[in-house]
Chain A
């Protein structure tokens, strides 16, 4: 368990550091999906990004997740400048340092919960003998220790999303990147997932949750909003400024 300020004191680079990062799509005229912005997320932060659909949320998510490259500015992940990376290195960073949680879970339907979690260790050189224990530990952590052999088709939406969370955190990534994590869940299941996020935050994980749901966003310690491609801090302006959101 660490606090952001501890990290900064320790001189550790922030998990996310956006320096004037923007994304526009070429064309006539060019479409700007994200105006240049700065954003710093430290280890242990819990940040929410809110905005209506079409506001640039997804663009930001893809940039942060290294699924897309900024057309300008510099993005440092754990102090690594991602602008100079080859595709294979970006894939490596995704597999090691970023855990994705998607709105539609993206579980493989023919594989058990455990096998779905194991999938996250397939590409990042986790020794085969260590994978099972890590997967089971991750499933226990999200409270699904009793459902390891269940197929996603037999699970509730909340359970599926918790399997997806277990998959995202099994590699102990620097960043948990969540895209509308409660979008497909009823309120009870959504609440369970949000409580899970609270616990993970308490355990020191760094979370970025992208959502259009204000209730979901309110759980985060730091909030930014995005509208028409402009990123603006919402809460705790001092902290936000300190964190580098302008």
Chain B
């Protein structure tokens, strides 16, 4: 069929006009628009808040994650109890030259073995004195273990291989123990008594980087303890333990090598505890919380979409006459569809913006209340309003189609 060319340009709806018309449609019923947006607001608010809170919480784990923790490897002995007389302590699986074996592992700065003295040793300042040292822990440790604790010396010297090799009766006192036992100066080579045996105080430490239990106690050479007290206790909390200080980043690699290095013949004899991997911790938190809450957010968004679709559909039915009028004023079916689509999209976008604002506010408020640093990932936060736009757009498709299909004759007749 031959097409007639009209002398005038065909109808059009400019972008600005479309924008102002759809905005007018949204604003002419402000109360209803707000209610319609609610689902989208909640959904996107939850979305932003969940992602923000997860990122924030993960950030806190990162901050609590300390350098010392990250460079500490603990090794627990699992002594064999079979073949040991009842009541007696089993021999430790740690070899005598554990310090040397550990030190030879790449990435280890210092490592050794320690254990609490078996029984309940009586500590006193004078021979035969009462137990002034009640509550003070007495630890047996190799020089490598002491070095791994990284003690800060207030006076004297730390333990060296000599006292270990020769099983000297010497002791390192913590500041707390020294105060309790009235030891303040070391130039007179004072001695304290553990179970009535004298031990010369060679040093006083005020702090340790690892094994904080040592801060309320004292340390004797492992060889001395072994000679005088026998094997470490068999219970897990009294068994011999390895303490290793590694270089930064080497902990997990070192941890994997420790059992074989210590006992190539029985690597299963030890339980090695590497420091927590910060990434795996974050991942765990993320997957635990986020999955649930994101599902809730998605449900909210779905409800929001249905809400927008419903309201827009009602609006289309309510405004049948308006549709007819617009058609009589030269609007094409596409213009009608576009207008309603723009209205639902505007609703969704507004909901998305408000939801994002609320979500960000929530994250900041929670972070402020907990003294955390709020972490908002731009990749998750900035596009959030666009989710609302998408929801509005999708929700408006069917109503817009209905609007476009409205017969102007019927529409104008409905009075």
B4 to chain A, nearest CB (A): 5
B4 & A84 in contact (Cβ 8 Å cutoff): yes
| B9, B10, B28, B322 interface centre (most CB from chain A within 10 Å) | B10
How far apart are B192's CB and chain A's nearest CB, in angstroms?
A: 92
Q: In the complex the two chains form, is A123's CB within 8 Å of B409's CB?
A: no
Select one of B1, B9, B16, B327 contacting A125, CB under 8 A: B9
Kindly report which residue of chain A lies nearest to residue B322, judged by CB atoms. Answer: A108
The 0/1 profile, CB within 8 Å of B marked 1, for residues 65-106 of chain A is 101100000000000110011111101111110101011101
In the complex, what distance in Å separates the CA atom of A102 from the CA atom of B415?
A: 10
Docked-complex contact A89 and B4, CB < 8 angstroms = yes
The answer to whether B330 and A84 touch across the interface, beta carbons within 8 angstroms, is no
Q: Is A122 in contact with B6, judged by CB distance below 8 angstroms?
A: no
Give bound CA distance, A67 to B3, whole Å.
Answer: 19
Which of chain B's residues have a CB closer than 8 A to the CB of A9?
Answer: none
Give the residues in chain B near A235, CB-CB below 8 Å.
Answer: none
Q: Give the most central of A81, A85, A119: most B CB within 10 Å.
A: A119
Complex alpha-carbon distance, A128 and B14, angstroms: 10
Interface bits B8-27 vs A (CB < 8 Å: 1, else 0): 11111110110001001000
CB pair A84 B2 closer than 8 Å = yes
Stretch at the interface among B306-314, B331-339, B392-400: B331-339
B321 at the interface (CB under 8 A from A): yes
Judged by a CB distance under 8 angstroms, whether B412 is at the interface is: yes
Residues on B with C-beta less than 8 A from A96 are 8, 330
Question: Which size bracket describes the interface of B in this complex?
Answer: 35 or more
CB distance from A33 to the nearest CB of B (A): 12
Q: Kindly identify, within residues 152 to 170 of chain A, every residue whose CB is under 8 Å from any CB belonging to chain B.
A: 167
Contact between chains at A67 and B328 (CB < 8 Å): yes
Q: How far is the CB of B354 from chain A (nearest CB, A)?
A: 22
Residues of B within 8 A of A84 (CB): 1-4
- Given A62-B409, A106-B412, A110-B28, A85–B4 Cβ distance below 8 Å? yes
Report how far A176 CA is from B412 CA in the complex, Å.
Answer: 16
Q: How long is the Cα–Cα vector from A120 to B330 in the complex, in angstroms?
A: 8
Complex CA distance for A86 and B332, rounded to whole angstroms:
11
Bound-state Cα–Cα, A87 to B10, Å: 11
Residues of B1-59 contacting chain A, CB below 8 A = 1-4, 6-14, 16-17, 21, 24, 28
- B11 touching A91 by the CB < 8 A rule? yes
From B9, B12, B321, give the contact of A106 (CB < 8 A): B321
A111 touches B335 (CB 8 A): no
Q: Which residues of B contact A106 (CB under 8 A)?
A: 321-322, 324-325, 328, 412
Contacts of A87 in B (CB 8 A): 332-333
A binding-site residues for B, Cβ under 8 Å: 58, 62, 65, 67-68, 80-81, 84-89, 91-96, 98, 100, 102-104, 106, 108, 110-111, 119-120, 122-125, 128, 167
Give 5 closest A-B pairs by Cβ, nearest first: A95-B330, A110-B28, A123-B330, A104-B415, A92-B10
6 contacts between A and B (CB under 8 A): A89-B4, A91-B11, A92-B9, A106-B322, A119-B329, A124-B329
